[in-house]
Structure 1
Protein backbone atom coordinates (compact mmCIF):
# COMPACT_ATOMS: atom_id res chain seq x y z
CA UNK A 1 0.00 0.00 0.00
CA UNK A 2 2.81 2.45 0.84
CA UNK A 3 4.42 1.80 -2.55
CA UNK A 4 1.12 2.45 -4.33
CA UNK A 5 0.66 5.69 -2.40
CA UNK A 6 4.24 6.75 -3.15
CA UNK A 7 3.82 5.91 -6.85
CA UNK A 8 0.57 7.85 -6.96
CA UNK A 9 2.16 10.87 -5.28
CA UNK A 10 5.16 10.70 -7.61
CA UNK A 11 2.88 10.58 -10.64
CA UNK A 12 0.84 13.55 -9.37
CA UNK A 13 4.03 15.52 -8.74
CA UNK A 14 5.20 14.71 -12.25
CA UNK A 15 1.90 15.98 -13.67
CA UNK A 16 2.23 19.24 -11.76
CA UNK A 17 5.76 19.71 -13.12
CA UNK A 18 4.10 20.25 -16.49
CA UNK A 19 2.35 23.24 -14.98
CA UNK A 20 5.29 24.46 -12.88
CA UNK A 21 7.47 26.02 -15.56
CA UNK A 22 6.44 29.60 -16.46
CA UNK A 23 7.11 29.00 -20.17
CA UNK A 24 4.99 25.83 -20.26
CA UNK A 25 2.29 27.55 -18.23
CA UNK A 26 2.22 30.49 -20.66
CA UNK A 27 1.72 28.04 -23.53
CA UNK A 28 -1.08 26.27 -21.68
CA UNK A 29 -2.69 29.64 -20.92
CA UNK A 30 -2.53 30.61 -24.61
CA UNK A 31 -4.10 27.29 -25.60
CA UNK A 32 -7.06 27.88 -23.29
CA UNK A 33 -8.44 30.13 -26.05
CA UNK A 34 -8.22 27.36 -28.65
CA UNK A 35 -5.76 25.66 -30.93
CA UNK A 36 -2.71 27.52 -32.22
CA UNK A 37 0.34 26.98 -34.39
CA UNK A 38 3.86 27.39 -33.05
CA UNK A 39 4.05 30.81 -34.72
CA UNK A 40 0.82 31.89 -33.03
CA UNK A 41 2.10 30.62 -29.69
CA UNK A 42 5.38 32.50 -30.12
CA UNK A 43 3.38 35.69 -30.72
CA UNK A 44 1.05 35.01 -27.78
CA UNK A 45 3.75 34.10 -25.26
CA UNK A 46 6.79 36.11 -26.32
CA UNK A 47 8.92 32.96 -26.16
CA UNK A 48 11.39 32.11 -28.88
CA UNK A 49 10.36 29.63 -31.55
CA UNK A 50 12.87 27.02 -30.36
CA UNK A 51 11.85 27.43 -26.71
CA UNK A 52 8.17 27.18 -27.63
CA UNK A 53 8.76 24.05 -29.71
CA UNK A 54 10.80 22.44 -26.94
CA UNK A 55 8.12 23.07 -24.32
CA UNK A 56 5.36 21.92 -26.68
CA UNK A 57 7.23 18.67 -27.16
CA UNK A 58 7.40 18.22 -23.38
CA UNK A 59 3.71 19.06 -22.95
CA UNK A 60 2.79 16.68 -25.76
CA UNK A 61 4.91 13.85 -24.36
CA UNK A 62 3.25 14.34 -20.96
CA UNK A 63 -0.23 14.22 -22.50
CA UNK A 64 -1.27 17.77 -21.65
CA UNK A 65 -1.26 18.96 -25.28
CA UNK A 66 -2.30 17.23 -28.47
CA UNK A 67 -1.44 18.19 -32.01
CA UNK A 68 -3.07 17.91 -35.38
CA UNK A 69 -1.48 18.28 -38.79
CA UNK A 70 -3.32 20.86 -40.88
CA UNK A 71 -1.71 21.10 -44.28
CA UNK A 72 1.86 22.21 -43.74
CA UNK A 73 1.11 23.47 -40.24
CA UNK A 74 0.67 21.69 -36.94
CA UNK A 75 -1.98 23.01 -34.60
CA UNK A 76 -1.67 22.42 -30.88
CA UNK A 77 -4.52 22.29 -28.40
CA UNK A 78 -5.12 21.24 -24.83
CA UNK A 79 -5.50 17.48 -24.83
CA UNK A 80 -8.44 17.46 -22.44
CA UNK A 81 -10.97 20.07 -21.31
CA UNK A 82 -10.02 19.22 -17.73
CA UNK A 83 -6.63 20.88 -18.27
CA UNK A 84 -8.44 24.20 -18.80
CA UNK A 85 -10.78 23.37 -15.90
CA UNK A 86 -7.80 22.80 -13.61
CA UNK A 87 -6.28 26.11 -14.69
CA UNK A 88 -9.59 27.86 -13.94
CA UNK A 89 -9.65 26.28 -10.49
CA UNK A 90 -6.10 27.51 -9.93
CA UNK A 91 -7.16 31.03 -10.97
CA UNK A 92 -10.00 31.08 -8.45
CA UNK A 93 -7.89 29.54 -5.69
CA UNK A 94 -5.07 32.00 -6.35
CA UNK A 95 -7.53 34.88 -6.09
CA UNK A 96 -8.15 33.77 -2.50
CA UNK A 97 -4.59 32.87 -1.45
CA UNK A 98 -2.44 35.15 -3.63
CA UNK A 99 -1.08 37.15 -0.70
CA UNK A 100 0.23 34.02 1.02
CA UNK A 101 1.68 32.61 -2.20
CA UNK A 102 3.38 35.93 -2.97
CA UNK A 103 4.85 36.09 0.54
CA UNK A 104 6.01 32.47 0.56
CA UNK A 105 9.78 32.25 1.03
CA UNK A 106 10.06 28.45 0.85
CA UNK A 107 10.39 28.37 -2.92
CA UNK A 108 10.12 30.62 -5.91
CA UNK A 109 9.69 30.23 -9.67
CA UNK A 110 13.28 31.39 -10.20
CA UNK A 111 14.66 28.70 -7.87
CA UNK A 112 12.67 26.02 -9.69
CA UNK A 113 14.29 27.00 -13.00
CA UNK A 114 17.83 26.75 -11.64
Structure 2
Protein backbone atom coordinates (compact mmCIF):
# COMPACT_ATOMS: atom_id res chain seq x y z
CA UNK A 1 0.00 0.00 0.00
CA UNK A 2 2.45 2.59 -1.17
CA UNK A 3 1.87 5.58 -3.34
CA UNK A 4 2.06 4.61 -6.99
CA UNK A 5 3.84 7.48 -8.71
CA UNK A 6 1.99 6.97 -11.97
CA UNK A 7 -1.47 6.68 -10.49
CA UNK A 8 -0.96 8.87 -7.40
CA UNK A 9 -2.78 6.62 -4.96
CA UNK A 10 -2.13 3.60 -2.77
CA UNK A 11 -2.02 0.27 -4.43
CA UNK A 12 -2.28 -3.13 -2.82
CA UNK A 13 -0.03 -4.87 -5.36
CA UNK A 14 2.64 -5.06 -2.62
CA UNK A 15 0.48 -7.52 -0.70
CA UNK A 16 0.03 -9.65 -3.81
CA UNK A 17 3.81 -9.54 -4.28
CA UNK A 18 4.31 -11.14 -0.88
CA UNK A 19 4.62 -8.20 1.49
CA UNK A 20 2.75 -9.03 4.69
CA UNK A 21 -0.30 -6.86 5.43
CA UNK A 22 1.39 -5.37 8.51
CA UNK A 23 4.32 -4.19 6.39
CA UNK A 24 1.89 -2.71 3.88
CA UNK A 25 0.06 -0.90 6.67
CA UNK A 26 3.27 0.64 7.99
CA UNK A 27 4.34 1.56 4.47
CA UNK A 28 1.04 3.41 4.03
CA UNK A 29 1.86 5.39 7.19
CA UNK A 30 5.50 5.98 6.29
CA UNK A 31 4.87 9.37 4.71
CA UNK A 32 5.05 12.44 6.96
CA UNK A 33 2.22 14.20 5.12
CA UNK A 34 -0.09 11.21 5.52
CA UNK A 35 0.71 11.13 9.23
CA UNK A 36 -0.05 14.85 9.47
CA UNK A 37 -3.40 14.27 7.73
CA UNK A 38 -4.20 11.36 10.06
CA UNK A 39 -3.30 13.46 13.12
CA UNK A 40 -5.54 16.28 11.90
CA UNK A 41 -8.43 13.92 11.18
CA UNK A 42 -8.08 12.46 14.67
CA UNK A 43 -9.38 15.83 15.91
CA UNK A 44 -12.46 15.57 13.68
CA UNK A 45 -13.58 15.49 10.11
CA UNK A 46 -12.23 17.96 7.56
CA UNK A 47 -12.62 18.93 3.93
CA UNK A 48 -9.69 18.98 1.52
CA UNK A 49 -9.71 22.77 1.62
CA UNK A 50 -9.46 22.66 5.43
CA UNK A 51 -6.47 20.30 5.27
CA UNK A 52 -4.78 22.44 2.62
CA UNK A 53 -5.11 25.54 4.80
CA UNK A 54 -4.17 23.91 8.09
CA UNK A 55 -1.28 21.77 6.86
CA UNK A 56 0.10 24.15 4.25
CA UNK A 57 0.09 21.48 1.54
CA UNK A 58 -0.97 21.73 -2.09
CA UNK A 59 -4.49 20.58 -2.89
CA UNK A 60 -3.15 17.88 -5.19
CA UNK A 61 -0.87 16.58 -2.43
CA UNK A 62 -3.70 16.39 0.08
CA UNK A 63 -6.00 14.69 -2.43
CA UNK A 64 -3.31 12.15 -3.38
CA UNK A 65 -2.62 11.23 0.24
CA UNK A 66 -6.32 11.06 1.11
CA UNK A 67 -6.79 8.66 -1.81
CA UNK A 68 -3.98 6.51 -0.42
CA UNK A 69 -5.48 6.50 3.07
CA UNK A 70 -8.90 5.70 1.59
CA UNK A 71 -7.44 2.80 -0.39
CA UNK A 72 -6.06 1.47 2.89
CA UNK A 73 -9.49 1.86 4.53
CA UNK A 74 -8.02 4.18 7.15
CA UNK A 75 -10.00 7.23 5.99
CA UNK A 76 -13.40 7.68 4.39
CA UNK A 77 -15.64 10.60 3.54
CA UNK A 78 -19.23 11.64 3.63
CA UNK A 79 -20.74 13.89 1.01
CA UNK A 80 -22.77 16.90 2.00
CA UNK A 81 -23.95 18.74 -1.07
CA UNK A 82 -20.85 19.41 -3.15
CA UNK A 83 -18.50 19.04 -0.21
CA UNK A 84 -16.74 15.93 1.08
CA UNK A 85 -15.91 15.61 4.76
CA UNK A 86 -13.05 13.19 5.51
CA UNK A 87 -12.67 11.29 8.78
CA UNK A 88 -10.76 8.35 10.22
CA UNK A 89 -12.47 4.99 9.87
CA UNK A 90 -10.30 3.28 12.47
CA UNK A 91 -9.89 5.30 15.69
CA UNK A 92 -7.57 2.56 17.01
CA UNK A 93 -5.04 3.89 14.51
CA UNK A 94 -4.37 6.65 17.02
CA UNK A 95 -3.56 4.00 19.66
CA UNK A 96 -1.04 2.50 17.25
CA UNK A 97 0.56 5.90 16.61
CA UNK A 98 0.62 6.67 20.35
CA UNK A 99 2.42 3.36 20.93
CA UNK A 100 4.89 4.27 18.19
CA UNK A 101 5.58 7.60 19.91
CA UNK A 102 6.20 5.77 23.21
CA UNK A 103 8.58 3.41 21.46
CA UNK A 104 10.42 6.31 19.85
CA UNK A 105 10.70 8.06 23.21
CA UNK A 106 12.04 4.86 24.81
CA UNK A 107 14.65 4.34 22.09
CA UNK A 108 15.76 7.95 22.05
CA UNK A 109 14.42 8.27 18.52
CA UNK A 110 17.28 6.03 17.36
CA UNK A 111 15.38 5.23 14.18
CA UNK A 112 16.26 8.72 12.90
CA UNK A 113 19.93 7.82 13.12
CA UNK A 114 19.52 4.30 11.74
CA UNK A 115 21.62 4.04 8.57
CA UNK A 116 19.00 1.78 7.00
CA UNK A 117 16.33 4.47 7.50
CA UNK A 118 15.93 5.52 3.88
CA UNK A 119 12.18 5.96 3.40
CA UNK A 120 12.19 9.69 2.72
CA UNK A 121 14.40 9.86 -0.38
CA UNK A 122 12.68 11.20 -3.42
CA UNK A 123 13.30 10.35 -7.04
CA UNK A 124 16.29 12.68 -7.08
CA UNK A 125 17.76 11.03 -3.97
CA UNK A 126 17.22 14.07 -1.76
CA UNK A 127 17.86 13.43 1.90
CA UNK A 128 15.52 14.44 4.70
CA UNK A 129 16.68 16.94 7.32
CA UNK A 130 17.42 14.21 9.93
CA UNK A 131 19.34 12.17 7.36
CA UNK A 132 21.33 15.20 6.24
CA UNK A 133 22.12 16.00 9.89
CA UNK A 134 23.22 12.39 10.43
CA UNK A 135 25.51 12.65 7.40
CA UNK A 136 27.04 15.86 8.79
CA UNK A 137 27.61 14.18 12.16
CA UNK A 138 29.29 11.22 10.45
CA UNK A 139 31.53 13.55 8.46
CA UNK A 140 32.57 15.41 11.63
CA UNK A 141 33.25 12.11 13.38
CA UNK A 142 35.33 10.93 10.40
CA UNK A 143 37.38 14.14 10.51
CA UNK A 144 38.00 13.77 14.26
CA UNK A 145 38.99 10.10 14.03
CA UNK A 146 40.88 10.36 10.77
CA UNK A 147 38.34 8.02 9.15
CA UNK A 148 39.16 5.18 11.58
CA UNK A 149 36.36 3.05 12.96
CA UNK A 150 35.52 3.88 16.55
CA UNK A 151 34.35 1.04 18.81
Please classify the TM superposition score into its range, dividing by the shorter chain length: 0.7 to 0.9
Match of 2:80 among 66, 70, 86: 70
Structure 1 unmatched runs, 5+: 1-6
Larger Rg: 2
The structure, 1 or 2, with the larger RCO (C-alpha pairs under 8 Å, 6+ apart) is 1
Q: How far did 1:89 drift?
A: 1.3
In structure 2, the partner of 1:4 is none
Structure number with the higher helix fraction is 1
Does 1:41 pair with 2:51? yes
Aligned equivalents of 1:99, 1:21: Cα separation in 2: 17
In structure 2, what is the equivalent of residue 61 of structure 1?
71
- Runs of 4+ with deviation above 6 angstroms: none
- Structure 1 residue aligned with 2:107, among 97, 104, 110? 97
TM-score norm. by structure 2 comes to 0.64
- TM-score when scaled to structure 1? 0.83
